[in-house]
Amino acid sequence: MTDELARRIEASFEKDDDQLEEDLPELLDDIDGQADELVREHPALVSRLLGRMQEMDIAEFVSENPETADQFQELLWAGVRVLAENDDEVSEQITEDISVNFEADDCPMTGHLRTDADAGTVTGGSGHLDDSDLTITGPADTLVGLITGGVDPIQGFMQQKYEMDGPVHKGTRLAPIMNSLSEKAATPQ
């Protein structure tokens, strides 16, 4: 049960950004290992927490707290995973197997995403895959925005907020999946 954790997260929303940033490493440490459960039991809360984090300077946070960067991503990807596994709208968008590596160009943060067309799932995590179809490079807050809905994938690409390498058709198939995920992430469950 994650109710106690949820109460602490709820309480953290009362704090200002500086205080939240200070408390976040400990909070993420406590979430570590319970991320999936937390997302399932308190999806709206996680959505709010990720929303608050988006208002922070992610690159600075990761640079100052490198050990918590992976925990932050685990929470992020747990959210994505849970959103995708129970949502027909998201699953319907997954028509192709696509693997993507993410690399922040302003802090030491790497991540990855993989879609499975047969299972209709999206999984992700920290670190790189050995052989990805696409590589997305850009500022950390843009990469997080791509996942949480703050940055429209196509619009962000056209406005040169990030760069993408790999086959163009994989990129165009990935965009609706990201859009659909981020719409869900932005909507309180």
Partner 1 sequence: MRLTAEQEAFRDDLRQYLDSEVDPVVDDLDENGPLDRETLLTFIRDLRELGIGFDPETAPQFFGDVWRFVITAEEVSRVWPSLNVGLMMSFPSVFVRFASSETREAMLPKLERGECLGSLAVTEPSGGSDTARPRTTARKEGEEFVLNGQKTWVGNAHYADVVLVVAEDESAGAQDMFLVDRENASFETEELEKLGWKGVSNARITFDEVRVPADNRLSTMFSNAIGAGNDMNDIVPFPESVTQLFFEQKPLNATFSFMRTGMAFMAVGIMQAAFDEALAHATDRETFGSPIGGHQLVQETLYDMRVGLETSRQLARRAAESLETGSEDARLLSSMAKGYTSETCVDVTSNAIQVFGGEGLKTDNRLERYFRDARVMPIPDGTTEIQKLIVGKELTDLSAYT
Q: Using CB under 8 A as the criterion, which residues of the chain lie in contact with partner 1 when the complex forms?
A: 152-161, 163-169, 171-172, 175-176, 179
Task: Closer to partner 1 by CB, 19 or 172: give it.
Answer: 172
Can you spell out the DSSP letters for 16-57? -HHHHHHHHHHHHHHHTT-HHHHHHH-HHHHHHHHHHHHTS-
What is the amino acid identity at position 22?
Answer: E
Query: Min. distance of Cβ 182 from partner 1 in angstroms?
Result: 12
Looking at the Cβ atoms of 31 and 134, the one nearer to partner 1 is: 134
Instruction: Report in angstroms how near the CB of residue 172 gets to partner 1 at its nearest.
Output: 5
Select 19 or 159, whichever has its Cβ closest to partner 1.
Answer: 159
Nearest to 2 by CA among 48, 43, 37, 54: 37
**Of the candidates 109, 105, 115, 110, the residue with the CA atom closest to the CA atom of residue 178:** 115
Nearest-10 Cα torsion for 165, 104, 147, 134: 20
Instruction: Quote the CA–CA distance of 113 and 107 in Å, as a whole number.
Output: 19
Q: Which is nearer to partner 1, 124 or 171 (CB)?
A: 171
Question: In the complex, what is the shortest distance from the CB of residue 176 to partner 1, in angstroms, rounded to a whole number?
Answer: 5
Largest CA distance in the chain: 45
CB 176 within 8 A of CB 162: no
**Nearer to partner 1 among residue 71 and residue 132 (C-beta):** 132
Minimum Å gap between C-beta 180 and partner 1 is 9
Least distance between partner 1 and beta carbon 62 (Å)? 22
